[in-house]
Structure 1
Amino acid sequence: MIASRPKAILARLLAGSVAMGVVAVSPAAAQTTNNAPGAAAARTEVPKARPWMNTALSADARVELLLQAMTLDEKLQLTFGYFATNADWLKTPIKNWVYPKDGLPASAGIVPGIPRLGIPNQWQTDAGVGVASQRGPTPRLRTSLPSGIATAATWNPELAQAGGAMIGREAFLSGFNVQLAGGMNLTRETRNGRNFEYGGEDPLLAGIITGHEIKGIQSQHVVSTMKHYAFNGQETNRNNIDHKIGEQAARQSDLLAFEIANEVGQPGSVMCSYNRVNGHYACENDWLLNTVLKRDWGFKGYVMSDWGATHSTSEAANAGLDQQSGWAFDRSAYFADALREAVNNGHVSEARATDMARRVLWGMVSVGAFDTVVTGDQATKIDYSAHAAVTRADAEEGIVLLKATAGLLPIARTAKSILLIGAHADVGVLSGGGSSQVYSHNAPTNGLVVPDAFPSGFPGPKTYHASSPMKALQARTGATVTYLDGKDVKAAAAAARKADVVVVFGEQWTGESIDVPDLNLPDGQNALIDAVARANKKTVVVLETGGPVVMPWLGKVGAVLEAWYPGTAGGEAIARVLTGEVNPSGHLPATFPASLAQTPRPVLEGDPKLDRDSHPMGNYDIEGAAVGYKWFDKTGAKPLFPFGYGLSYTSFAMSGLTAAAEGKGIKAAFTVKNTGALQGKAVAQVYVSGAGWEAPKRLGAFRKVDLAPGTEQTLSVTIDPRLLATFDVASGGWRIAGGEYSVMLATSAADVVQTVKVQVAPQTLDRTGK
């Protein structure tokens, strides 16, 4: 039962360094100048005295000692990143710059280190669900977690951390020490092609889940980014769109999510996004980078650009950008010789150049990347079996039971015939497209089990992980399990009439750089589901989607499971839930609208709407901080499924809510009891309501608890003072108005079980909510 015990999984990962091939090596012994990390052997070098290698010193102290030994050119070298292929070499070489011989094949990038001082190369890999690979004849094959939104649907920080540790381990053993993970843009636009990478619509849930993933990754001596900072809410015109939002709304929504993740995970790096925010590119936005991130939150790490998101030299450096990454995607090598020239001419101070290097070094030293050094590709040491248990546990807890007609699920053992239809469920499960694409280790050498899936170009190829729901069901049931692709709707309906149970797999492929046109399942799948459900009332729909979809057939089907993109063990996870081997416990991290008309922007912004500077414009002031369920509460619209919603094969009772002001926040306690016949996990949600807020209520805290039938547990939670406050722009801090607050115990944003009133005194908090 390892998959049901995230604490045990995490403990095994954190304790498994030696067993899984991680060794402490001095940086000088691990690399020579521009030596590719996959080299069979590294030159042994006896380093001179390096006081900064004293691990008894703090990261701050070690970095300052190192800076004293560095030249200006060496400091600036840490601010400039290459794309890890030969596509990045200029016809006219950058003067005075050292080229790496090559990066790790099919990786995201490299920043050359300083062997003289024992500073390792920065070997960078995408992304948030595992070690990704640039497409090629033989891509890197690794383990994939479920999508970010699926992990958020677990409402389980321990699983998020275990998953982070797992992909961090694979990154390290693949030769990487920087993982471009930690994606966390709130779901403002339900059509966003990258919603699958992120943690949903609520700043508390997204911040906690993503922060724990970052924490897990960095436990493996791998720097994790936190991205895409900030307000990168859509892919349409992502390189140019200017999102307008007021400071109070910004601080109480997306920025609060990043702030919480920063506190929980303490990332070594933050990746700034492509878009503009209030007129300025995010990667040269002084307010976002210098004021909020570095001054207000005390962020010590470095800000790296997204690939192609650097637009200037002096402006970007002075606004807080510390590293131009994957420069081949930019119009120019802004941080190479141009940055040295800017420093020499006084446009960028030498103190600022030193600070840029300081931040890069701090990010690496703080996670142990100087002391436990990557030594090339050691993928043969990856324990894929143990990692499959991690990703399967994540997938299982992230699956959300949205509808369940009595007696249909779990599938009865008496069922003699089970028909599966659609979405290549005979061979695998869908994954999201773009730079985060992981090709599963158990797939063919080219990573594709459906070789001709459209599209073939970026963000494709559309990829299925080799984890077959059909084979997993065949292994778990005595029924005859068959598969039809569903292309012939009449034939599918005719076959459905003869089956005891029908499971239709509905898919919605999403990916980086493109948004979906609407919330319908594409390619006539809604008509297929409708026809099958009319033919057999015992029809279960399993959705593999990147985010919310509409379900015009909902009233006709017997049950619905949202499985998201469930990762490299997703087929097994789906089968275990369908058969009752696992009780579903996922809850929605994003609202499912009944239609786009209910959303703040029924028509996608940014194309062709322009602002006064002729930039494509996105108006986030429409909803402000009222993102997701808060918008639905504010407008009174009834969604298809509310935020926080999720059913179980058992039943729970929540009661005994008490709450009182404690310190600057509120402490609440309540009891959860399993009143059903099966063991299961409940997600208790605590919402809070105060006067003058952006919406009627906010998520204040949550707990997930595993209970045997008939057992109960009393839980306590503390509501962060910032969730009781509004951000006061004039004073630059948080202000709790005081008075009577409502504290609500709930099973979703729309299903409140009990409410109590609490008196809270007026309080003024600092920028960090303290």
Structure 2
Amino acid sequence: MHELYLRPFANSIRADVASVMCSYNRLNGSYACQNSYFPNGILKTELGFQGYVMSDWLATHAGYDAINAGLDMDMPDQDFPPIDGQSSTLNVLYSEPVYQFNYGPADVDVRQNHRQHIRELGAAGTVLLKNVDSTLPLRAPRSIGVFGNDAGDVTDGMYFSGAAIGPYGFESGTLPAGGGSGTGRFSYLVSPLEVIKARAAQDNTLVQYITKNTVLLLPLVGGIPGITFANGLGTITPTPDACLVFLKTWAGEGADRTSLLADWNSTAVVEAVAGYCNNTIVITHSTGLNIMPWADHPNVTAIINAHLPGEQFGNSIVDMLY
């Protein structure tokens, strides 16, 4: 418990988080929301949590037992503010609502100045894992290469639901959020490639790119005797001063990941680019842990873990790169 699972919650409590949610599963045989050792013992006593504990939706299986164990709010309950009138058509969990929710106006625009906050938090939450000889920040490189199916704009829509998009998510486009209940329905998305091109123009930097992993890995082929045709990376010339490789790892509620590697043949992609470019910078968008068998490659000069930064991910990563 303490070595593996508790630390993120402890850090959140130190940062004065208002609420902690108890989960669906049983812990040592009893439901999390009525297991006194966790809400009362660890959260409120050991960690000194002063906020309130709420249940996950429909995760409360008893009244007195849960209250006595430290549960403060049963969700969903009465007297909450009206929710967006469009929400019922977006809810894929139940064909018939379990509760008669109090609906308000539909399609309420609540964005305000969130754009700047999301951009700042996306950059602030990014972790620099490797930076050989001050590779970063970039300093007006003559040319940049952008590679990987996580770099461009999405092609399958901006709502990242669950199993409908497969075990590895969507192939084309960057990954701003995971799937399941914690996903987002975005009002717009800013991809890394579009912002890199705009930022590079300020320095008159040449930008070349391939955002399809299968194309990146195509070999050189011959068609006419004595002539070799370029495919994949062979079409990128001259060799960029900096090569940015964008990788992604999908996960969603209700299914387990099958590997700790990033998805879409990511190891081969990094090794191919690093074999071609001696200044390869890898950026990952991931729903969890990754192993990186290419991390010690001599041509991988920087590694950035950008997590799942949301709709401003293009601006956030360029703020970090430059």
Higher relative contact order (CA 8 A, sep 6+): 2
Match of 2:198 among 475, 479, 491: 475
Shift of 1:506: 0.9
**Counterpart residue number, 2:180:** 434
Please list, as runs of the form range in 1=range in 2, the aligned pairs for 1:492-507 lying within 5 A after superposition. Answer: 492-496=232-236, 498-500=238-240, 501-507=242-248
> Which residue in 2 is equivalent to 1:310?
60
Using the TM superposition, give the Cα deviation of residue 507 of structure 1 relative to its aligned residue in structure 2, in angstroms: 0.8
CA contact (8 A) 2:22 2:54 kept: yes
Q: What residue number does 2:34 align with?
A: 284
Separation (CA, whole Å) in 2 of partners of 1:298 and 1:550? 35
CA distance in 2, matches of 1:302, 1:535: 54
Counterparts of 1:544-555 in structure 2, within 5 Å, are: 544-555=285-296
* Cα distance per residue 1:451-485 (max 9 Å; x no partner): xxxxxxxxxxxxxxx11111111111122323321
Q: 2 CA distance for matches of 1:440 and 1:528?
A: 29
Residue 534 to residue 467, structure 1, CA distance change in 2 (3 Å): same
CA distance in 1, matches of 2:40, 2:243: 56
C-alpha distance 301-480 of structure 1, shift in aligned 2 (>3 A): closer
Whether the 8 Å CA contact 2:178–2:308 is kept in 1: the answer is yes
Pair 1:186–1:399, CA change in 2 (3 A)? farther
SS for the counterpart of 2:138 is coil
CA distance in structure 2 between the partners assigned to 1:318 and 1:535 by the alignment: 63
Whether 2:239 is the aligned partner of 1:423: answer no
Q: Write the letter of the residue equivalent to 1:507.
A: K
Structure 2, unmatched stretches of 5+, are: 78-92, 95-102, 155-173, 219-230
Q: Cα 1:324–1:412, aligned 2, differ >3 Å: closer, same or farther? A: closer
CA distance, structure 2, for counterparts of residue 522 and residue 533 of structure 1: 18
* 8 Å CA contact retained: 2:150, 2:248: no
Q: 1:388 aligns with which of 115, 123, 131?
A: 115
Structure possessing the higher radius of gyration over alpha carbons: 1
Structure 1 residues 387 and 313: alpha-carbon distance in aligned structure 2, compared to 1, 3 A threshold: closer
Q: TM-score, normalised by structure 1?
A: 0.31
Say whether the 8 Å CA contact 1:395–1:570 is kept in structure 2.
Answer: yes
Q: How large is the Cα RMSD of the aligned pairs? A: 3.6
1:527 aligned residue (263, 268, 279): 268
Is the Cα contact below 8 Å between 1:420 and 1:503 reproduced in 2? yes
- Pick closer, same or farther for the CA change 1:432–1:487 going to 2, 3 Å: same
Can you give the 5+ residue segments of structure 1 that lack an aligned partner in the other structure?
1-184, 190-200, 212-259, 331-373, 443-465, 581-770
CA distance in structure 1 between the aligned counterparts of 2:305 and 2:277, rounded to whole angstroms: 20
After TM superposition, list the pairs within 5 Å mapping 1:209-220 onto structure 2: 210-211=12-13
Q: Is 1:402 aligned to 2:136, yes or no?
A: no
CA separation in 2, counterparts of 1:187 and 1:564? Answer: 22
Q: 1:562: Cα distance to partner?
A: 1.3
* C-alpha deviation, 1:406, in angstroms: 2.9
Amino acid at match of 1:425: A
Cα distance in 1, alignment partners of residues 45 and 288 from structure 2: 34
Question: Which amino acid is 1:573 matched to?
Answer: S
CA drift at 1:299: 6.4
Q: 1:509 to 1:186 in 2, by over 3 A?
A: farther
Secondary structure in structure 1 of the residue aligned to 2:181:
coil
**Cα 1:475/1:517, change in 2 over 3 Å:** same
Cα distance in 2 between the residues matched to 1:513 and 1:276:
16
1:326 is displaced (CA, Å) by 4.4
The separation in 2 between residues aligned to 1:290 and 1:409, in whole angstroms, is 46
- Going from structure 1 to structure 2, the CA distance change for 1:541 and 1:313 (only over 3 Å counts) comes to same
Cα displacement (A) at 1:378:
8.4
User: Which residue of structure 1 lines up, in the alignment, with residue 308 of structure 2?
Assistant: 565
Aligned mates of 1:405, 1:296 — CA distance in 2? 41
- Given that 2:208 and 2:236 are in contact with CA atoms closer than 8 Å, whether structure 1 keeps it comes out as no
1:211-261 deviations in whole A, cap 9, x for unaligned? 4xxxxxxxxxxxxxxxxxxxxxxxxxxxxxxxxxxxxxxxxxxxxxxxx45
Distance (whole Å) between structure 1 residues aligned to residue 73 and residue 134 of structure 2 = 57
Contact conserved, 1:470 with 1:482, CA < 8 A, in 2?
A: no
Deviation at 1:290, TM superposition (A): 4.5
Distance 1:563 1:324 in 2: 34
Q: How many aligned positions are there?
A: 262
1:393/1:288 Cα in 2 relative to 1: closer, same or farther (>3 Å)?
Answer: same
Q: What's the CA shift for 1:516?
A: 2.2
Q: Distance in 1 between matches of 2:315 and 2:48?
A: 43
Q: How does 1:672-711 map to 2 (within 5 A)?
A: none
Q: Which residue of 2 aligns with 1:188?
A: 4
Structure 2 match to 1:220: none
* Aligned-residue offset at 1:511: 2.6
